[in-house]
Amino acid sequence: MSIPTLAELMKAEVSSGGFEPLPVGWYDGVIAKVEVRAGGKGPYLNVEVVVHGGEHNGRRVWGMSSFSDKALTMPGGIANLLQVTQPDLDVDTPAEELPAAIAAAVVTKPVSFMVKNEQVKRHGALQFLDAPKNQLPELRSKVDEYRTPDQDFIDSIDADAAGLDSDLPF
């Protein structure tokens, strides 16, 4: 790979890079990465899922699962994520260690997940693709809910086809 010159960068056509939102619906995928982050009402998990198969194979979608009391049992919440993935966790894991333990335990787990689209906000302001008219909202896909994938999908998982690093344990 060669680094372009400043002149080439200044002339380059800027595009969306193929990050259009996915169509709303259910997808099969593999959890590729989970980060524990601090939130206003407690920690949350930022879950990255890679679509496995079909025309959107390899696309990545993110979901947030909060440890706040209100969000724990919502679709896409921590309880939903745990019940679907059935991770191997010690039931005596201390509460303060639970976010990191869950994050580590669910990576590489297969899931089916509902994708919905939401309007993008930056610094609290809605974003539009056609400013100044503000009629075309900028949308992004997000994981809205998880469910257990069927056994055929679980049996078919291939790290390379899912777009994951080859050093994952499956």
Decide if 17 is inside a domain.
no
- Whole-model pTM: value is 0.78
Decide if 11 is inside a domain.
no
Q: What is the pLDDT of residues 39-53, one digit of tens each?
A: 888 899 999 999 999
Range of the domain at 35: 25-156
* DSSP character at residue 96: G
Helix 78-85, helix 98-106: angle, nearest 10: 40
Decide if 168 is inside a domain.
no
CA distances from 85 to 81, 102, 112, 167 (A): 6, 10, 10, 20
Decide if 77 is inside a domain.
yes
Q: Specify the CATH number for the domain of residue 70.
A: 2.40.50
Structure confidence at residue 161 (pLDDT): 47
Rounded to whole angstroms, the Cα distance separating 14 from 12 reads 6
Q: What is the pLDDT of residues 78-96, one digit of tens each?
A: 999 999 999 999 999 999 9
Provide the domain count of the chain.
1
